[in-house]
Amino acid sequence: MTSPEPRRLPMVSRLAYATGSIAFGMKAVAIGVVMLFYNQVLGLPSVWVSFAIGVALIIDAVVSPLIGQMSDMWRSGWGRRHPFMYLSAAPAAVSVWALLNPPRGWDKPDLFAWMMACIITARISIALFEIPNASLLPELAADYDARTALSGWRNLFGIVAPVVMVVFALTVLLKPFVDGHGQAMPGQLNPGGYARYGVILAAVIFSAILVSALGTHGEIRRLSRPLPHATLGEVIDTIANTLLNRNFLALTLSGVISGIGTGLVGGLGDYFNTFFWQLSARQVSAVTGSVGLTPFLAFAIAPTLARRFGKKTAIISTFSFASLFGVAPVGLRLLGVLPPNGDPLILPLLVIDALFGATLAIVGIILISSMMADIVEEVQTRTGRRSEGLLFSADTMLKQIVTGVGAMGTGLILQVVRFPEKAVPGHVPAEVLRNLALIYLPITAVTSLLAIAVIASYQIHRADHEAHLAAIAMAITSPGAEP
What is the tens place of the pLDDT at every residue in 139-160? Answer: 888 776 777 888 888 888 988 8
Q: Would you put residue 339 in left (φ > 0), alpha (ψ -120 to 50) or beta?
A: beta
pLDDT at 129 over 70: yes
Inside any domain, residue 13: no
Q: For the packed helices 11-32 and 82-99, what is the interaxial angle rounded to 10 degrees? A: 30
CA distance 82 to 394: 20
DSSP string over 123-192: HHHHHHHHHHHHTTHHHH--STTHHHHHHHHHHHHHHHHHHHHHHHIIIIIS--EE-TTS-EE-GGG-GG
Inside any domain, residue 9: no
Amino acid (one-letter) located at 269: G
pLDDT at 232: 58
Domain count within the chain:
1
pLDDT at 413: 86
pLDDT at 50 over 90: no
Amino acid (one-letter) located at 139: E
- Between 149-158, 434-443, 444-453, the lowest mean confidence (pLDDT) is in 149-158
Give the whole-number percent of the chain exceeding pLDDT 70: 89
Name the pTM for this structure.
0.68
**From residue 401, how far is each of 63, 291, 369 by CA, in Å?**
11, 27, 19
Q: Which domain holds residue 35?
A: 18-475
pLDDT at 396 over 70: no
Question: What's the rounded mean pLDDT across residues 406-420?
Answer: 80
pLDDT at 213: 95
CA distance 288 to 354: 8
211 within 8 A of 19, measured Cβ to Cβ? yes
pLDDT at 3: 44
Inside any domain, residue 241: yes
pLDDT digits (tens, 9 = 90+) for 235-276: 667 677 777 788 888 888 888 788 777 766 767 888 898 899
Q: Of residues 158 and 4, which shows the higher confidence score?
A: 158
Q: Of residues 248 and 347, which shows the higher confidence score?
A: 347
pLDDT at 295 over 70: yes
pLDDT at 245: 81
pLDDT at 169: 92
481 pLDDT band, cuts 50/70/90, is very low
**From residue 254, how far is each of 24, 154, 366 by CA, in Å?**
22, 22, 15
Of 85-94, 242-251, 402-411, 455-464, which one has max mean pLDDT? 85-94
CA angle 167, 169, 172 (to 5 degrees): 100
pLDDT at 298: 85
CA distance 74 to 85: 13
- Between 179-183, 201-205, 428-432, the lowest mean confidence (pLDDT) is in 179-183
Half-sphere exposure of 295 (CA within 13 A, CB side): 23
pLDDT at 414: 87
CATH number at residue 180: 1.20.1250.20
Inside any domain, residue 454: yes
Question: What's the rounded mean pLDDT across residues 16-33?
Answer: 91
Mean residue pLDDT of the chain comes to 84
CA distance 31 to 214: 26
Q: Of residues 138 and 207, which shows the higher confidence score?
A: 207
pLDDT at 350: 93
CA distance 117 to 52: 9
pLDDT at 5: 54
Q: Containing H/E element for 346?
A: helix 346-383
Question: What's the rounded mean pLDDT across residues 61-72?
Answer: 82
Inside any domain, residue 220: yes
pLDDT digits (tens, 9 = 90+) for 307-320: 889 889 999 999 89
- Between 116-130, 175-189, 290-304, 404-418, the lowest mean confidence (pLDDT) is in 404-418
- Between 11-20, 264-273, 416-425, the lowest mean confidence (pLDDT) is in 264-273
CA distance 65 to 392: 8
Inside any domain, residue 59: yes
pLDDT at 34 over 60: yes
Q: Of residues 401 and 87, which shows the higher confidence score?
A: 87
CA distance 412 to 431: 17
Inside any domain, residue 359: yes
